[in-house]
Protein backbone atom coordinates (compact mmCIF):
# COMPACT_ATOMS: atom_id res chain seq x y z
CA UNK A 1 0.00 0.00 0.00
CA UNK A 2 1.31 3.42 -0.98
CA UNK A 3 0.27 6.43 1.10
CA UNK A 4 0.63 9.98 -0.21
CA UNK A 5 0.06 12.84 2.24
CA UNK A 6 -0.86 16.19 0.73
CA UNK A 7 -1.09 19.31 2.92
CA UNK A 8 -3.30 22.10 1.55
CA UNK A 9 -4.16 25.68 2.38
CA UNK A 10 -6.34 27.73 0.03
CA UNK A 11 -5.76 25.40 -2.92
CA UNK A 12 -9.32 25.27 -4.32
CA UNK A 13 -8.15 26.27 -7.78
CA UNK A 14 -5.39 23.64 -8.02
CA UNK A 15 -6.18 20.68 -5.76
CA UNK A 16 -8.44 18.97 -8.33
CA UNK A 17 -5.69 18.92 -10.95
CA UNK A 18 -3.14 17.71 -8.40
CA UNK A 19 -5.38 14.84 -7.30
CA UNK A 20 -6.17 13.87 -10.90
CA UNK A 21 -2.49 13.80 -11.89
CA UNK A 22 -1.45 11.97 -8.72
CA UNK A 23 -4.11 9.29 -9.25
CA UNK A 24 -2.98 8.80 -12.85
CA UNK A 25 0.66 8.33 -11.87
CA UNK A 26 -0.10 6.02 -8.94
CA UNK A 27 -2.46 3.98 -11.13
CA UNK A 28 0.49 3.05 -13.34
CA UNK A 29 2.15 1.16 -10.45
CA UNK A 30 -0.65 -1.39 -10.16
CA UNK A 31 -0.59 -1.21 -6.36
CA UNK A 32 -3.17 -0.08 -3.84
CA UNK A 33 -2.78 3.50 -2.69
CA UNK A 34 -4.38 6.09 -0.43
CA UNK A 35 -4.28 9.84 -0.82
CA UNK A 36 -4.44 11.63 2.53
CA UNK A 37 -5.22 15.32 2.15
CA UNK A 38 -5.01 17.65 5.13
CA UNK A 39 -6.80 20.98 4.70
CA UNK A 40 -5.13 23.46 7.06
CA UNK A 41 -8.11 25.79 7.75
CA UNK A 42 -8.47 27.10 4.21
CA UNK A 43 -10.65 30.17 3.79
CA UNK A 44 -11.53 29.40 0.17
CA UNK A 45 -13.53 26.46 -1.22
CA UNK A 46 -10.78 23.85 -0.79
CA UNK A 47 -12.93 21.71 1.54
CA UNK A 48 -15.84 21.74 -0.90
CA UNK A 49 -13.60 20.71 -3.79
CA UNK A 50 -12.14 17.87 -1.71
CA UNK A 51 -15.63 16.55 -0.89
CA UNK A 52 -16.05 15.63 -4.57
CA UNK A 53 -13.13 13.19 -4.26
CA UNK A 54 -14.29 11.31 -1.17
Cα 39 from Cα 13, distance rounded (Å): 14
pLDDT at 54 over 90: no
Cα 10 from Cα 48, distance rounded (Å): 11
Which pTM does this prediction carry?
A: 0.84
pLDDT tens-digit map of 1-42:
999 999 999 999 999 999 999 999 999 999 999 999 999 999
Amino acid sequence: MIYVCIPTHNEASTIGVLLWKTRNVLGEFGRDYRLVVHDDASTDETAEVLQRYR
